């Protein structure tokens, strides 16, 4: 047996051995976020499970884009359920690639093999939404549309994923919660899960609320210090308050961190003296990470290499690992009933558009960070509709504010020079998708091209 096959067999065996960990309460080392050149380090593992003939009976890939649209103001419980479900879909969507590719950072890489079924959007660190990923997936079979991706100004899938598609632990949490909570902002990275960006302490603990970040040069506090100040029982009492959609953040002074989401209410077991039993009390979480984490298909039972974990059990004792991956629980104003749900809206400024020249001066605005924005042209004679340009928003654009106010200069130039818009009458539209999957068309006009 060659060296490659030996490693493949070993990795497959390890994958199957790890499968029970999510339900048994065994702790797996969390994927870490580190401050590198791109402020993100991924741990990676080559995936080995290849499936070509199986049928897939679950809702992944999604034949209909998941949307979380309310026709009335939702309750806190409904908002929490939407956030949990959206993140779960990001972690369980099944897909395969027709070509081998890898996603690399300055310190590591994740390899993806052709015709291998994967679960969950890839861990890349760029932190775009599930919707950006689904826009390049065949909804019938989960095939990654390489031909569409490769025309986005990049020759390889590796470059596309590193610059345009994928997420990380905090990004997947952030996009899911921002679908229903407009109070969170900043950037979707565990460094910045702080009060000034809308992430509130859950329970009777606090920290310097002017802290701009955790574990960075400008930090005024960090999660290790918080745990040391309050001790086990006080933090156990805070963990006991965890409800679906609340998050757990670890960020220490050496710039390592992770973000997880609670998927159900914490289970609390008390000792005879009334204190909380940290070994018996627990919460179920879901989180994203790179590598081949085993995930079972609900319909077939087949095991796939997942980009995250779903309903994994963490005891309070495991959450409280002072100076060693210790987590603080956090929530949002909407989840606590302190702020009402804000309905998404998208508009164009100016509203009257007649051609590429007008678009050059146009800005699309949204009260939430937009998930995606795209330019379409429909030939009015043939009815053929084509996507001329596309953009999925990243964590950096959220930080800069351009995910809420996107200038259409690039769309204007593309429309003016596109060979797909020539000699005929067209209907031009710009479509923007909000984090809840709602689709808006702020720009629509007739255009005669010569």
> What are the Cα distances from residue 178, in Å, to 24, 82, 149, 172, 368?
31, 10, 26, 10, 8
Any idea which of 22-26, 245-249, 436-440 has the lowest mean pLDDT?
22-26
DSSP conformation class of 150: T
Percent of the chain topping pLDDT 90: 50
pLDDT of the residue at 55? 41
Over the Cα atoms of the chain, what is R_g? 23
Q: Which residues contact 343 (CB under 8 A, 6 or more apart)?
A: 70
Q: What angle do CA 47, 53, 56 make, to 5 degrees?
A: 85
* 143-147, 288-292, 440-444, range with greatest mean pLDDT: 440-444
pLDDT band at 282 (very low <50, low <70, confident <90, very high): very high
pLDDT tens per residue, range 241-251? 999 999 999 98
Residue 245, sorted as left (phi over 0), alpha (psi -120 to 50) or beta, turns out to be left
pLDDT tens per residue, range 126-164? 889 999 999 988 888 888 887 777 655 555 677 777 677
DSSP conformation class of 197: G
Residue in 396, 395, 394, 397 with CA at minimum distance from that of residue 407:
397
Tokens of 406: 């996107």
Please tell me the pTM assigned to this model: 0.85
pLDDT tens per residue, range 381-436? 999 999 999 999 998 899 898 999 999 999 999 998 888 888 899 999 999 999 99
> What are the Cα distances from residue 147, in Å, to 118, 119, 144, 155, 334?
19, 21, 9, 10, 41
Cα separation, 139 vs 133, in Å, equals: 11
Residue in 292, 309, 289 with CA at minimum distance from that of residue 45:
292
Report whether pLDDT(20) > 60.
no
CB atoms within 10 A of CB 185: 21
Q: Which residues contact 11 (CB under 8 A, 6 or more apart)?
A: 45, 46, 48, 292
pLDDT of the residue at 5? 39
Please give the average per-residue pLDDT across 69-75, as a whole number.
95
Tokens of 296: 């079972």
Report whether pLDDT(43) > 80.
no
pLDDT of the residue at 148? 74
Instruction: Tell me the DSSP string of 255-322.
Output: SEEEEEEE-SPPB--B-TTS-B-TTT-EEEEEEEEEEEEEEE-TTT--EEEEEEEEEEEEEHHHH--T
Give, to the nearest 10 degrees, the angle between helix 76-92 and helix 169-178. Answer: 140
Residue 256, sorted as left (phi over 0), alpha (psi -120 to 50) or beta, turns out to be beta
Structural domains in the chain, sorted by start: 3-169 (no CATH), 186-287+309-331 (no CATH), 346-449 (2.60.40)
Residue in 250, 289, 330 with CA at minimum distance from that of residue 40:
289
Q: Which residues contact 326 (CB under 8 A, 6 or more apart)?
A: 223, 224, 227, 250, 319, 320
CB atoms within 10 A of CB 77: 12
pLDDT of the residue at 298? 75
């Amino acid at each position: 047996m060659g060296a490659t096959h030996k490693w493949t067999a070993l990795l497959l065996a390890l994958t199957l051995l790890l499968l029970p960990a999510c339900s048994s309460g065994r702790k797996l080392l969390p994927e870490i976020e580190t401050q590198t050149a791109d402020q993100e380090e991924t741990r990676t593992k080559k995936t080995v499970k290849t499936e070509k003939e199986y049928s897939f009976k679950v809702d992944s890939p999604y034949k209909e884009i998941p949307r979380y649209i309310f026709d009335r103001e939702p309750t806190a419980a409904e908002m929490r359920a939407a956030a949990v479900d959206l993140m779960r879909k990001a972690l369980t969507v099944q897909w395969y690639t027709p070509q081998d590719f890898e996603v690399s950072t300055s310190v590591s890489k994740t390899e993806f093999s052709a015709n291998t079924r994967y679960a969950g959007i890839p861990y890349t660190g760029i932190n775009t939404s599930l919707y950006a990923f689904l826009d390049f997936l065949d909804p019938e079979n989960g095939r990654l549309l390489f031909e569409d991706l490769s025309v986005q100004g990049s020759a390889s899938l590796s470059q596309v994923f590193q610059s345009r598609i994928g997420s990380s632990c905090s990004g997947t949490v952030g996009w899911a919660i921002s679908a229903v909570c407009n109070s969170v902002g900043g950037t979707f990275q565990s460094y910045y899960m702080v009060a000034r960006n809308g992430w509130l302490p859950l329970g009777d603990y606090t920290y310097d609320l002017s802290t701009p970040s955790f574990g960075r040069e400008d930090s005024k506090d960090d999660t290790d210090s918080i745990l040391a100040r309050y001790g086990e029982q006080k933090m156990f009492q805070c963990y006991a308050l965890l409800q679906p959609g609340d998050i757990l953040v670890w960020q220490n002074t050496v710039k390592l961190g992770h973000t997880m989401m609670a998927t159900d209410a914490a289970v609390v077991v008390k000792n005879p003296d009334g204190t909380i039993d940290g070994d018996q009390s627990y919460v179920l979480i879901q989180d994203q990470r790179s590598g081949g984490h085993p995930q079972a298909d609900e319909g077939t039972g087949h095991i796939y290499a997942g980009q995250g974990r779903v309903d994994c059990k963490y005891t309070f004792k495991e959450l409280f690992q002072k100076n060693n991956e210790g987590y603080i629980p956090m929530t949002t104003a909407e989840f606590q009933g302190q702020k009402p749900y804000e309905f998404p809206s998208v508009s164009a400024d100016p509203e009257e558009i007649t051609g590429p020249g007008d678009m050059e001066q146009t800005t699309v605005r949204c009260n939430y960070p937009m998930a995606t924005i795209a330019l379409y042209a429909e030939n009015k004679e043939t009815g053929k509709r084509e996507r001329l340009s596309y953009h999925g928003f990243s964590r950096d654009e959220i930080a800069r504010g351009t995910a809420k106010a996107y200038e259409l200069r690039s769309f204007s130039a593309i429309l003016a020079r596109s060979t797909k818009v020539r000699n005929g009458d067209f209907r031009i539209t710009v479509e923007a998708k909000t984090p809840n999957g709602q689709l808006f068309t702020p720009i629509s006009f007739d255009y005669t091209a010569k």
